[in-house]
Structure 1
């Protein structure tokens, strides 16, 4: 009977490790999927904001400038998260069901990068809201904040 429980526990731990590795890898890659050319033209990517928040041409140009200036920082953070996710996945695949000290450290690194990314993105969103009329800025934050708490962290994902 003990052998059966042991086999079940090992199988469950292997399943969790495999799922976690796959989840981390897919989310770190998915978060940067929109780094493609379609987000490189801020006027096109952010056109919805101009009409939805009734932005003046001056406000819209400021929003586009902020977005364009933030993209390289966001891309760099996404790349770091992708690398950390790949490292974590590799360690979990090698360690099997055991959460080794190396896996714990890789997970902490990934979590730290994710928190850093969220803080930076939140700062960018707040800065964007400040160039709008106060009511429009509040409406913008109300619309985009729920997206910040999802797995999609790239600014182009959050501002859709």
Structure 2
């Protein structure tokens, strides 16, 4: 019985040390902080392992696209408020989706090899059924 409890204690200790090492050595703390602070750019930098040059280029692209995105959102919201015909709203939404898709492809092109494809696999499915009710994000849409 004495060896049993010693063995249990050793297994628990090894498990705790393994968990602590894994936790300390991966990017999870930074990703959790970015999520808690709703900082999409910090998440992007950590999740896709961007170096400073890549991150700066993507941040510039993101900041520039923000103005374009705002114009698209305003046009869609204005059309909805004015009760524009559904075809007109759908056309504005399609312009928005096309623009977002192109922006995401430009971002992916600036990422390290392999990371761009993974990024597109995450963001492109969210564009196709985008609700145009605010800025896109990675949370599940209702």
- For Structure 1 versus Structure 2, the TM-score category normalised by the shorter chain is 0.5 to 0.7
Taking structure 2 as the reference length, what is the TM-score of the superposition? 0.65
Taking structure 1 as the reference length, what is the TM-score of the superposition? 0.58
Partner of residue 76, structure 1: 71
The counterpart of 2:61, out of the listed 66, 75, 95, is 66
Describe the SS at the equivalent of 1:151: coil
Structure 1 pair 130/155, CA: closer, same or farther in 2 (3 Å)?
Answer: farther
Structure of greater relative contact order (alpha carbons < 8 Å, 6+ residues apart): 1
Structure 1 pair 149/127, CA: closer, same or farther in 2 (3 Å)?
Answer: same
Residues 1:126 and 2:105 are matched in the alignment: yes
The counterpart of 2:88, out of the listed 109, 125, 132, is 109
Offset of 1:137 from its aligned partner?
A: 0.4
Offset of 1:140 from its aligned partner?
A: 0.5
Larger helix proportion of the pair: 1
Rg comparison, structure with higher value: 2
Distance in structure 1 (CA, Å) of the matches to 2:62 and 2:134 = 8
Quote the RMSD (CA, aligned, Å).
Answer: 2.0
Structure 1 spans left out of the alignment, 5+ residues: 1-43, 89-102
Moved over 6 A (4+): none
Partner of residue 12, structure 1: none
Count how many residue pairs are aligned between Structure 1 and Structure 2. Answer: 101
Partner of residue 85, structure 1: 80
